[in-house]
Structure 1
């Protein structure tokens, strides 16, 4: 796969009930500095009207693609779990081919959370960095990925692929 189109990194952020918007995990570490996230978090963890929509932020040396999710339930602090798993690219990268992948991955994480508490359980959420590393490596190397999601959830896998890069992409 062309290096011009590769993902620089992936981060998982959430609205923490006491700390507010935070990056919980990122691969590689320190890809997005705290100051950068603090300046951009209102776009990455947006108002409710922008949940479950593709969000692309092109600022401060990065192009960030995410699909923010809001799960309402009284079982969560503040009655909601809010998260966004974001792909990070060079600013000039055309990211339209990645939009369905980010959306599918967010939907899959939502499904795992609803079925088993995957994101809200302290033990299972420790698997998120490995998942992000596996997705990053597979997409950058092969343009597709098939990743088992959890030891506890045997039959769940995330599968996706990037269409062949189109040099005439207009982003």
Structure 2
């Protein structure tokens, strides 16, 4: 079962930041939110693995939290282009799962998140552009997308979400099969 899902981005001036997370506060505390649960793990300790060195970008990675309770599964993406500061855009969509859960089914989900959002970024700057109020009516916020992905995957083992209308974006489709115990 997915305990948390997040979208992290590297900002040239500020470094790695968690931009969106579900449930709120599962990775980093949310200022002003009334969350009763503490974060799942110490973000400060694992921060360098959320957006790792260039050599680990565009690869599937798995990191265990220091307490051994959870695994963080990610596929950090680096998109080189002169249109970005420092000539690249770096982000990661990751999942947090219990340490005793089979990670194999989730690898496809993490890869699909990375590939889908990388393509959306290349096509129209979906992740890097600032969304104003008029445009926000035409697309869902990333926070909302993460909540839907987490809930649908946990409840149904699949997810399909229309992301926006203008410009047309492909729907997010994910599916994984939960391994069945041997009889």
Alignment partners' CA distance in 1, 2:57 and 2:5? 19
How many Å apart are 1:155 and its aligned residue?
4.7
1:94-133 alignment, distance < 5 Å: 94-123=102-131, 127-133=141-147
From 132, 153, 159, the equivalent of 1:139 is 153
How many Å apart are 1:126 and its aligned residue?
6.7
Q: Which residue of the partner structure matches residue 9 of structure 2?
A: 14
1:1-171 alignment, distance < 5 Å: 6-33=1-28, 36-60=42-66, 61-123=69-131, 127-167=141-181
- Tell me which structure has the larger Cα radius of gyration: 2
Alignment partners' CA distance in 1, 2:102 and 2:176? 12
Give the number of equivalent residue pairs: 163
Provide the TM-score with structure 1 as the length reference: 0.87
Give 3-state SS (helix, strand or coil) of 1:164's partner. Answer: coil
In structure 1, runs of 5+ residues without a counterpart are: 1-5
Provide the TM-score with structure 2 as the length reference: 0.82
**Contact 2:18–2:28 (8 Å) recurs in 1:** no
Alignment partners' CA distance in 1, 2:58 and 2:47? 16
Alignment partners' CA distance in 2, 1:154 and 1:141? 28
CA RMSD of aligned residues (A): 1.9
Post-superposition CA distance 1:124-160 (Å, at most 9, x none): 6971111111111110111001111223233511112
Give 3-state SS (helix, strand or coil) of 1:8's partner. Answer: strand
Give 3-state SS (helix, strand or coil) of 2:42's partner. Answer: helix
